[in-house]
Structure 1
Amino acid sequence: MEYEKAIAGKFLLVTTTDLKPHKVMKGYKNLKDVEQAFDDLKNLLKLRPIGNRTSKRAKGHVFTCILSLLLAKLMEKHTNRTFENMKEKLEPLKTNQIKIHGEKIYKRNTIRPEQEKILDELDVEKPPKTLVNV
């Protein structure tokens, strides 16, 4: 009973390596980050088994998803916001294509104040209101 009280709220890591205890603990804590990254890949970015016919395409798909995750994590770190929050706020920002006399014109909708704040926090230039002959 005394032993249980002494270890209550503590955990024990057992390893067969020659690493110093603080390095083992750091590696264990990093495991949480890796597991969270894979969870984000599966859920936030919706990485799912896909029907690529070649391994080259499958590798390309996974690479793109991992690159997307890296970008999302960098955005979070730079803004202290969640990626979900930024995505939700920026999602309504759209560009429409208009054809006038055979010429394509791209016109974006109005940037709302909270969208502008996110773009500023990311140090991203606001997209132009109108683009012609792109």
Structure 2
Amino acid sequence: MANKIKNNVADAGDAVAKAAKDLGSRIATGAEDAVDFVKEKTGMGDPGEGTDRGVAAIKDHMDVIASCGKKVGVVDHVEGAAIKLTKNDSPDGQHHFVPVNWVARVDRHVHLAKNSKETEENWKPDASSCACGT
């Protein structure tokens, strides 16, 4: 009986610690978003300035911005080494894929190291074409 209580308390402690870590991460992300939003709206930050969260922070429905500042698509989802763009935002109504190694930084948007012309001329028809990252 005592072992069962001890295990239940340990499990509860682990659950609380995990929830606290998750909440802390969400609060930090929200604070970074708020800072980036204020910088963008007040003009206090360089347009290329933002908290880079890395490619692991790419989420569905994020805008994808070329190095020239033009929006080239919206993230449908990440598929291996590729970002699949939604077909609704595509000029030809098709899904296109962008290798993740084209990403310069990730903040509230995905910012590419290539300009819109380079991106649109070289995006890929499927995720497997992005494995080489060219």
Decide: shared fold, TM above 0.5.
Answer: no
> Of Structure 1 and Structure 2, which has the larger fraction of its residues in helix?
1
Normalising by the residue count of structure 2, what TM-score does the alignment of the two structures yield? 0.28
Q: Of the two, which has the highest radius of gyration?
A: 1
TM-score, normalised to structure 1, is: 0.28
